[in-house]
Structures are given as C-alpha cells and as structure tokens.
C-alpha cells in the first residue's frame, strides 16, 4: 500500500484519492490532481445531491430571477474519471485505518484524503422558530431556489437578520425587486465586522439611499408564527414588533467539521487547522502527511500576516488552496508549495462593486487614497503597525492589484504619493473602527493532560454554544 512511506510517485500511479466535499474547492482539487498526472482512483463525496455548482450568483442573479438556482453549475476544466458519491454525507473519519465513514454505513478507504467540506449557513438559534414557514437561510442552491420563490410571491416585508455580505446582497436584491426590507444588525453598521465602522457607515448610507429600513444595534429576540406555522412577526431587542412574511437568517456560516469529532484531527468550530502546505494538523499540533484540507473549512497560517491562522470564506481562496493541496498530494516533499494566496473577495450590492485584498480587520487605521467616501467610490487602505495590511474599494476595483502589491511588499502606511484621483489633501489616517475584539467568541479550547513527555496529550473541547 502506497503513501505510508510518503511515496508520492507510487500514489500518483496507483493510489486512491478521496475528496470529501464536492463544491468549488473539491472540484478544483480533483481537476488539479488529474492535471498533475494522478492516474489512480478518485472518489468524490458530497452531501448535496447536485453536481458542483457556483455559489456567488445565488445571492445575486438568482434572487433577481435572472438565473435559475439550478443553472450555476461550475464549468469543468477537464474530465475527471471519478467515482461520484453525491447526496452522501461523510459521518466519520478513522485516521489510523485511513477510512471515511459514510451516512449509509459504508466505508471508503483512502491513501490520501482531501477535506473540503466547507461551511453551512448558521441556523436561527431557536429550532422551533427556525422551523416556521417563511424563516430561511441562504447557502445552498436549494436555499436560493426557496428564497427566490418566496420573493416571486411578493412578500409585503422581508426581515433580513444580519447585515454582513450575504445579508446585504439579499437586501439589495429585494430592493431591486421593489420588496420592502427591514434589516436587523447587532453591530453599529452593515459590514462592520469585515470592513470596520468607517466603511460600514458608507454601507449604511447605501441601505438608506435604497429605501431599506436599516436598524443597527438591534437584535431579533424572537420570531413568532401564526397557528398554521407561518412566520407572522419578529420581536426586536428595542421592544418593538415587526410584521414580516419572510425572515432571512444571515448570521454567517458554521464550518462543517462535526463529522471529524473524535477523529483526532485538529478540527472544530473554527475549521480544520493545517500547515501552509494544506496538510491537516492532528489534535496534538503534529502535522499529518496523508490528510489535506482546502477551502472554507481550512484554517492555515499565513506568513504575511504574522503566521496567524486564517480561515477565509473566499471564492478565490477555495480555488487557490485546492490547487496547492492537490499539487502537494501528488508531489514529494521538496516539490511541495506553500499556500500564499493574498486574501481577496468581492461583493455586488446596491449597484456598487465592493472588493477587498488583505485582512482589513487587522487594520487599526485606514486612509482614503483615491476618490471619496462622500461619493461612495473610493479606495481605502488599512494600516497595521506602520504598514499596509489591506485595501477595500467601492467601484474602484481595477486598482486593487496595485494595493495588493503594497501589502505583499509591506509598504509603509499611510501610502502617500502623487496618483490619479488622489483624495483631496492626501491620505489622512483615521481609526478604522472595528468592533472590540475582546467580545466573547464561539472559539473552542483544548486541555493538556499527562506528565511524562510520552504521556502528554491534548484533548479537544468543543465550544459551549
């Protein structure tokens, strides 16, 4: 049996690669395996019954009725010659025996495994309320189809809970279709967690300009149904009640790692930890050599950002990390590559194209270097310890590669040079206004046990939700 001895060549010729997760990262990884000459057996396992499809259109074109939810299949780069187990969730992993357990009880042996199980929408916290007709989330194609149908039925008012990127895109689509929307956001402004309060204030203006009933600093305390089980209204933390035909819960994502509980991998609510070469860590922090991770579920150290473990729910990251993971699965040690992707994402809402590079929440300050906040078209650069750490653009995305270079070269903050469309008076650093990071999180913990070096063990403790 190959791989135990790390023989990449043997694996490449005759090995069995198993990919758990049949979305963007899983598909691109599988294609890269074949591209790089992997001639062995390939098994693709996915819990959804659909072939791999693209998700960004689900909160945009699909909700506007321009594309059907089933029409966003990902283009294929090449034929895969894989065994597809779709509609089949993985339920467990036996690291020592190199086996993946499936929902039906079947087991699939692997020589090398790629974990790309991604995330799912964080459900509404109270199950009975979440089950009401009219309470929705948006993550999958089926979710999008349900929400699109709901919007087709012309609801009198939609409540969007959470004004992150997904929530804002849903809100934007509703307004474009002329549907009244109320947004309940716990923070002081939309997008505040990702982009900070300064840019969040611009997002808030966009909401207002498009007729959104935006309520910040507000949480939803309860969703109430009628006797038939249909959503009737929401109770808000300011004591008011809001009637709504539909509520979309857009409170971020939960990483699909439950199936790895007890497997011995360093997997938990924050994802599966892996090294820069996409190899998973076990719970002791020792790197494995036959289990790889890519996409939204991965959490890996990035040298450019102080070797912090980043988990990125970005389309481009899923593709880049999948390619690196697949390359490393079939390559001997010296030929392996690090995943050094510069974080980047985009969003389209209220007619504005929003793009970002780097890690904005690491920035304590920002400076507007092009355009202006007032015109809602600008490039903002974020600073961290005297250097450029991120940039965000509103309708200015074409310049972003330049700011990406500034991040990669650790350029001084604030950047100050003559340039086109320079903000009047030049860039002046101001606080970026991110929420206090000392707030409690859902992070997991570990405990150490044993005394002798050979007995020291780490035990993973799931987060108390």
Binding site residues, other proteins, CB under 8 A: 77, 351, 369-371, 375, 377, 379, 395-396, 398-402, 405, 417-422
CB of 419 to other proteins, least distance (A): 4
Q: Which residues of 164-184 are buried (b: 16+ CB within 10 A; e: fewer)?
A: bbbbbbbbbbbbebebbbbbb
CB of 462 to other proteins, least distance (A): 42
Assess contact for 44 and 30: CB atoms under 8 A.
yes
CB of 398 to other proteins, least distance (A): 4
CB of 282 to other proteins, least distance (A): 35
CB of 166 to other proteins, least distance (A): 20
Report how far residue 330's alpha carbon sits from residue 33's, in angstroms, rounded to the nearest whole number. 7
CB of 198 to other proteins, least distance (A): 20
CB of 200 to other proteins, least distance (A): 23
CB of 401 to other proteins, least distance (A): 4
**CA-CA distances (angstroms) from residue 240 to 47, 208, 229, 243, 245?**
40, 20, 21, 10, 17
Report how far residue 367's alpha carbon sits from residue 365's, in angstroms, rounded to the nearest whole number. 7
CB of 59 to other proteins, least distance (A): 15
Report angle CA 176, 196, 178 to the nearest 5 degrees: 10
Report angle CA 240, 241, 243 to the nearest 5 degrees: 150
**Pairing between β-strand 180-185 and β-strand 157-161 as defined by DSSP bridges:** parallel
Nearer Cβ to other proteins (417/451): 417
Report how far residue 244's alpha carbon sits from residue 183's, in angstroms, rounded to the nearest whole number. 11
CB of 421 to other proteins, least distance (A): 4
Assess contact for 144 and 63: CB atoms under 8 A.
yes
Nearer Cβ to other proteins (274/348): 348
Nearer Cβ to other proteins (88/356): 356
The closest alpha carbon to 206, from 195, 218, 220, 221, belongs to 195
Residue 440 structure tokens: 């409690």
């Amino acid at each position: 049996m190959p791989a135990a001895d790390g023989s990449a060549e043997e694996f490449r010729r005759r090995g069995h690669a198993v990919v758990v997760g049949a979305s963007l990262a899983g598909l691109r990884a599988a294609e890269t395996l074949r591209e790089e000459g992997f001639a062995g057996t390939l098994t693709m396992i996915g819990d959804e019954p659909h072939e791999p499809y693209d998700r960004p259109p689900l909160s945009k074109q699909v909700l506007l009725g321009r594309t059907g939810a089933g029409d966003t299949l990902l283009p294929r780069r090449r034929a895969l010659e894989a065994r597809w187990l779709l509609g089949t969730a993985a339920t467990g992993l036996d690291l020592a025996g190199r086996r993946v357990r499936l929902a039906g009880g079947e087991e699939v042996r692997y020589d090398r495994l790629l974990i790309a199980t991604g995330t799912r929408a964080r459900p509404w916290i109270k199950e009975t309320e979440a089950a009401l007709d009219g309470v929705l989330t948006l993550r999958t194609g089926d979710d999008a189809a349900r929400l699109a149908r709901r919007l087709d039925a012309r609801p009198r008012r939609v409540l969007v809970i959470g004004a992150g990127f997904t929530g804002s895109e849903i809100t934007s689509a509703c307004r474009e279709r002329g549907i009244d929307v109320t947004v309940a956001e716990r923070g002081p402004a939309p997008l505040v967690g990702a982009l900070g309060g300064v840019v969040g204030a611009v997002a808030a203006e966009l909401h207002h300009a498009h007729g959104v009933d935006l309520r910040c600093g507000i949480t939803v305390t309860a969703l109430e149904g009628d006797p038939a089980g249909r959503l009737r209204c929401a109770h808000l933390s300011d004591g008011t009640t809001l009637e709504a035909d539909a509520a979309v819960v857009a409170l971020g994502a939960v990483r699909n790692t439950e199936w790895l509980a007890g497997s011995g991998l360093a997997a938990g609510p924050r994802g599966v930890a892996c090294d820069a070469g996409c190899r998973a860590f076990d719970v002791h922090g020792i790197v494995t050599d036959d289990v790889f991770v890519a996409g939204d579920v991965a959490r890996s150290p990035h040298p450019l950002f102080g070797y912090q473990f980043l988990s990125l729910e970005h389309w481009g990251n899923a593709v880049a990390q999948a390619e690196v993971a697949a390359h490393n699965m079939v390559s001997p040690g010296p030929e392996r590559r690090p995943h050094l992707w510069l974080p980047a994402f985009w969003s389209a809402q209220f007619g504005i194209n929003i793009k970002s590079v780097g890690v904005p929440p690491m920035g304590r300050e920002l400076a507007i270097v092009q355009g202006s906040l007032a015109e809602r078209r600008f490039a903002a650069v974020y600073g961290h310890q005297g250097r450029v750490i991120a940039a965000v653009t509103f309708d200015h995305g074409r310049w972003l590669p330049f700011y990406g270079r500034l991040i990669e070269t650790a350029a001084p903050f604030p950047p100050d040079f003559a340039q086109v469309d320079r903000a009047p008076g030049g860039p002046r650093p101001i606080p970026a206004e991110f929420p206090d990071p000392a707030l409690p999180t859902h992070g997991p913990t570990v405990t150490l046990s044993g005394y002798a070096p050979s007995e020291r063990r780490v035990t993973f403790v799931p987060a108390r939700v």
